[in-house]
Amino acid sequence: DQQVKQNSPSLSVQEGRISILNCDYTNSMFDYFLWYKKYPAEGPTFLISISSIKDKNEDGRFTVFLNKSAKHLSLHIVPSQPGDSAVYFCAASDSTGTASKLTFGTGTRLQVTL
């Protein structure tokens, strides 16, 4: 039962354009969402997060949007750069307990072309 889904396994975007990565979740108890970037043979690198009390969080070129009613979040990267090419994982947690585990999506491979 995949509680966090990233329906696009891959995405190709031209350098300088906007990259939009999407994520859907089914568990209504999730209240904290994160995006991680992962290069091969490395651990996931934290990018940006958002709490369910907000609908938008911005950090430099990265913006995360949360639509709670649709149980959907998206990561916008503007402008996209070749160094952004990696696998992006959406993750969610239920922070009501201690040490909230992350439930990951299946990942989207982003390729930024010149």
The residues binding another protein (CB under 8 A) are 32, 34, 36, 41-46, 49, 89, 95, 97-107
Tokens encoding 72: 């959907």
Name which of 35 and 80 has its Cβ closer to another protein: 35
Name which of 20 and 102 has its Cβ closer to another protein: 102
Contacts of 74 (CB under 8 A, 6+ apart): 20, 21, 22, 23, 64, 65
Q: How far is the CB of 86 from another protein (least distance, A)?
A: 14
Please identify which residue in the block is written with the tokens 């990696």: 86
Name which of 69 and 98 has its Cβ closer to another protein: 98
Q: How far is the CB of 14 from another protein (least distance, A)?
A: 27
15 close to 114: Cβ distance less than 8 angstroms: yes
